[in-house]
């Protein structure tokens, strides 16, 4: 997998990867825009795009400057890597997510990163804080994998120790279903798996309205 923005890093440092889609209208949050869970018009394309851009920037502001880990922004599609649509602060190393379904892309990112514990998160989780990431890295000290459960049966965070062996937890996982977390954990039978805080992402209009105050508020860097 081609990684044109590769940079020099300390060996075995913790790595955090924020996965993000190109934040432009029509390319993000189609379920949120369409309101499929509510049976109505949802919040519309403009509202969904505004939410996504705000959530992405706030995620990077909160997490991207923390000195306890090195942060990457994994971009989809890879052709948008050098476009000016991405948040310009903080300055992070951008890498392409690669092609394939979500599991293939996540496995590719884990395989690409230099040695050391690594965590992947999404960019649409209003409640995410540096403390959540710090706890997850600590739990990787005693486990082979760590997950942050989501309220819909999936997960908002996945981390792998990646030593002394390569793990392949994503094969055959039904994405965007109530069985996503359970199926991923089933692929790790025989390994030590830890869980961290349960959070909610925002995929539908119902999710948005349930977290509206948190999603729309302009929030600066969060305290740990």
pLDDT of residue 161: 95
Indicate the helix (H) or strand (E) that contains 134.
helix 130-140
In a domain, 184, yes or no: yes
Report residues of the chain scoring pLDDT below 70: 1-11, 35-41, 83-91, 212-224
pLDDT of residue 35: 55
pTM for this prediction: 0.85
pLDDT of residue 85: 66
Task: Count up the domains in the chain and report the number.
Answer: 1
In a domain, 9, yes or no: no
Contact status, residue 201 vs residue 169, Cβ threshold 8 Å: no
pLDDT of residue 116: 93
Rg (CA), the chain: 17
How would DSSP label each residue in 61-123?
HHHTT-TTSEEEEEEESGGGTT-TTS--SS--EEEE--SSSHHHHHHHHHHHSPSS-EEEE-S
In a domain, 189, yes or no: yes
Q: Which domain range does residue 99 map to? A: 15-216
pLDDT of residue 1: 44
pLDDT of residue 55: 87
How would DSSP label each residue in 6-33?
-----TT--EEEEEEE--STTTS-HHHH
Indicate the angle between helix axes 44-63 and 130-140, nearest 10 degrees.
60
pLDDT in tens, 38-93: 455 577 888 888 888 888 888 998 899 899 999 999 998 777 777 666 666 556 78
In a domain, 29, yes or no: yes
- 64: domain CATH number is 3.90.550.10
């Amino acid at each position: 997998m081609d990684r044109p923005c590769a940079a020099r890093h300390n060996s075995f440092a913790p790595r955090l990867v924020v996965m993000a889609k190109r934040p432009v209208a029509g390319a993000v949050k189609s379920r949120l825009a369409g309101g499929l869970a509510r049976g109505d018009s949802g919040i519309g394309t403009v509202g969904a795009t505004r939410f996504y851009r705000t959530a992405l920037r706030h995620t990077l502001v909160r997490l991207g400057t923390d000195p306890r880990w090195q942060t990457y922004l994994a971009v989809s599609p890879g052709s948008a890597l050098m476009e000016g649509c991405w948040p310009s602060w903080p300055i992070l190393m951008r890498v392409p997510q690669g092609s394939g379904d979500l599991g293939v892309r996540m496995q590719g990112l884990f395989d690409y990163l230099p040695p050391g514990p690594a965590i992947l998160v999404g960019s649409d989780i209003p409640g995410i804080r540096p403390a959540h990431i710090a706890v997850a890295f600590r739990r990787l000290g005693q486990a082979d994998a760590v997950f942050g459960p989501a309220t819909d049966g999936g997960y908002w965070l996945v981390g792998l120790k990646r030593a002394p062996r390569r793990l392949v937890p994503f094969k055959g996982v039904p994405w965007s279903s109530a069985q996503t977390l359970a199926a991923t954990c089933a692929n790790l039978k025989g390994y030590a798996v830890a869980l961290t805080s349960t959070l909610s992402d925002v995929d539908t209009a119902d999710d948005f309205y349930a977290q509206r105050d948190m999603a729309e508020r302009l929030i600066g860097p969060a305290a740990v």
